[in-house]
Amino acid sequence: MKMLSDIIKNLVRKPSTEKYPYTKKKTPKGFRGKHEYDREKCIYCGLCAKACPVHTIGVIRDKKFWQLDLSKCIFCARCEEVCPTKCLKLGNEFEMASDKKEDFIIK
Ligand code: SF4
Ligand code: SF4
């Protein structure tokens, strides 16, 4: 009897599968995707570089230089947590595969 009710339920319910990549998957709240960096708000304090456990952020205050190499990032979000101006945050983008090293550099 249980089997019969399961069959009927499964016949009428929507499919569990998603049509990714044809429809973009919605990310959950607090998702740690590709960084979003607002150069205009950055004060080049270097706190993000100091907090990064894998040393993948480079900051030179005098030259107003800021760079992040995503290929080494472990997406821990420490850099976002310490940024005083909130100009750096981990966004929702998760499609980052590339065979070009320069595609992993955020400036
Ligand atoms: S998310 Fe973590 S590993 Fe990636 S750049 Fe920020 S502090 Fe570094
Ligand atoms: S912590 Fe924020 S303001 Fe400071 S250098 Fe990093 S991104 Fe810029």
Q: For 26-84, how does the pLDDT look when each residue is reduced to its tens digit (9 = 90+)?
A: 899 999 999 999 999 999 999 999 999 999 999 999 999 999 999 999 999 999 999 99
Cα of 90 vs its chain's centroid, Å: 5
Helix or strand run (H / E) with residue 83:
none
| Nearest CA residue ID for atom 8, ligand 1 | 52
- The Cα–Cα gap between 88 and 48 comes to 9
C-beta 77 within 6 A of ligand 1: yes
Classify residue 45: in a domain, yes or no. Answer: yes
Specify the CATH number for the domain of residue 101: 3.30.70.3270
CA distance 41 to 87: 6
Exposed/middle/buried for 26, CB within 10 Å: 0-12, 13-18, 19+?
exposed
Provide the number of structural domains found in the chain: 1
Global pTM reads 0.85
Residue of the CA atom closest to atom 3 of ligand 2: 42
Residue range(s) defining the domain that contains residue 96: 26-106
pLDDT at site 64: 97
Residue 15 has pLDDT above 90, yes or no: no
pLDDT at 25 over 90: no
Residue 10 inside a domain? The answer is no
Ligand 2 center to residue 48 CA distance, Å? 6
Task: Please report which residue ranges of 13-103 form alpha helices under DSSP H.
Answer: 47-51, 78-82
